[in-house]
Structure 1
């Protein structure tokens, strides 16, 4: 795993600040890592989207084409009923595969992603996932833009074509400052707001990718009468017009606790400190609660109509992306995915 260079932590009042030379050296190191990341992605993932496609999730296209008579084996969901009614002969509507794609990323870099116990921090993995999506979809005149949030503030990076613009976008994502302690907790609806920003202004059909750990406390009442995460509704709205991919970032320590006696843990969102006794009973209860939480997140993403890819800090994220895209291709060819 490529570990991104970490920015220096804020210094206390009166302490010496970083010199211009130090900042230049840090910027050069970050640039080198991003270039290496680009090379890694293009070498191992290039070629996954060859041919006609509508996005990272390959499909037949979205633009309406001509109608032709129905033949055995045609998808009945593409029946052109107006033409069929006029001619009294069954017709299907052909579609034209999009060759120019606009992809928007929603990248969550809130305090809960400043955590990692394996190969990297979740923040690093989120940036690597953004790089993979950006470099995969940017060729052929395609445009890539992003909405980036650190839980306290968010900013929109305009969609532009070309690998140089994609690289510049990743540099700005990497330079996103970390939210101060408690900043995320004060704005629990930050992820819902960032996802909803992808719906404005209305765009033609394309690709939307949400990269987050989806660990938010913002709960709203759904139309069904029960509760749901606040980000589920804007994602459902987004999926009406676009192919939506949700990339969930996890760390193994979020799923289970180690047997290390009394463990001191810190909530990165609020800064609260707790001491937890990691006996067998507590570890089992924690693992059960974590599994329930992840099942609820997967269910919310499924209801929203988003494809779901989980990346972990202790696994080969490139291999996971390759497997996911291959599975989506097989599912589309068999008509088993949305």
Structure 2
């Protein structure tokens, strides 16, 4: 077939991918709107309360509080250390670093990992884009060339692996941003997560919220320092997307596995109990390294799994964040 009603340059796979992206995004937006709206009753707050510019009430200091928020007059009067809470800025700027490496195009449960990435971005947009707030994103994917491989179409010009979508206010603009993320083509190769996060550090912006959405499968040394740098100026939320098969292997005999980022094929004898144990141990160590690096950077850490209710996980996370900021005696 030479072309279509939408033009000769749009292939059937591209049309199918765009239609699937629209369907997934529509379903996610409906779920988010129905189930997360009730969380925003009362004080203005989203997945992470904004840094704010107005001083609020004081409360007793707890280990882990930012010492830059110490309320020294109240501390002197009460002889107990206190910190000053802040009221979230209603003109908050939120930036998303969205990792769509080839490893995200995988899933063995209710969702693909890339669907959870889009779900997280949708929730962030829904919970932050109101009251004149702006939301933007940088999106990274593979270069189109597997590690050690060659580009399939030699005539195809190379495309930049990272794309910046400018921050704009309004729900219509946020929907356009989410649509652009959902339609992003996942290509072979590995995105440079550290470089993607560094795009949020350039140019310097006023204090706001930054969310890094990824499976964090890239080497920790490559992205830990950029996230620490980002957290110096912004409130950082790291959303880690995980599939259960990345944590443990099922006993299904000989399993042929293909690395989506390198194209390498491996046959694994999953009936070997020792191999499954080593795999689970290595996976747990990897996830532990990721959690420690994010904790050391001062980032809030939310893990979403393809085999659980991600909306419920988000609700629990928001509730925990609120509780951590409101518990204790206020004076």
Counterpart-to-counterpart distance in 1, 2:208 and 2:118: 21
Could you say if the C-alpha distance between residues 250 and 64 of structure 1 is closer, same or farther in structure 2, counting changes exceeding 3 Å?
A: same
- Equivalent position SS for 2:255: strand
Counterpart-to-counterpart distance in 2, 1:262 and 1:97: 54
- 1:307 aligned onto 2:300: yes
Could you say if the C-alpha distance between residues 49 and 41 of structure 1 is closer, same or farther in structure 2, counting changes exceeding 3 Å?
A: same
1:195 is aligned to 197
1:334 is aligned to 327
- 1:257 aligned onto 2:249: yes
Residue of 174, 177, 182 corresponding to 1:174: 182
Greater length-normalized contact order (CA 8 Å, ≥ 6 residues apart): 2
1:225 is aligned to none
Residue of 53, 63, 81 corresponding to 2:53: 63
2:276 is aligned to 283
Q: How many residues align?
A: 293
Could you say if the C-alpha distance between residues 273 and 24 of structure 1 is closer, same or farther in structure 2, counting changes exceeding 3 Å?
A: closer
Residue of 281, 305, 321 corresponding to 2:314: 321
**Preserved contact between residue 49 and residue 88 of structure 2 (Cα < 8 Å):** no
2:155 is aligned to none
**Preserved contact between residue 105 and residue 146 of structure 1 (Cα < 8 Å):** yes
2:32 is aligned to 41
Counterpart-to-counterpart distance in 2, 1:17 and 1:259: 47
TM-score normalised per structure 2: 0.80
Could you say if the C-alpha distance between residues 205 and 49 of structure 1 is closer, same or farther in structure 2, counting changes exceeding 3 Å?
A: farther
2:234 is aligned to 242
Counterpart-to-counterpart distance in 1, 2:84 and 2:302: 32
Residue of 80, 89, 98 corresponding to 1:98: 89
1:7 is aligned to none
Deviation at 1:36, TM superposition (A): 3.2
- 1:165 aligned onto 2:173: yes
Spell out, residue by residue over 1:67-108, the C-alpha distance to the aligned partner (whole angstroms, 9 max, x if none): x9xx9x665953357xx9xxxxx9987855412211100110
1:229 is aligned to 221
Counterpart-to-counterpart distance in 1, 2:236 and 2:176: 24
Q: Which runs of 5+ in 1 are unaligned?
A: 1-15, 85-89, 218-227
Counterpart-to-counterpart distance in 2, 1:91 and 1:290: 41
Counterpart-to-counterpart distance in 1, 2:228 and 2:173: 29
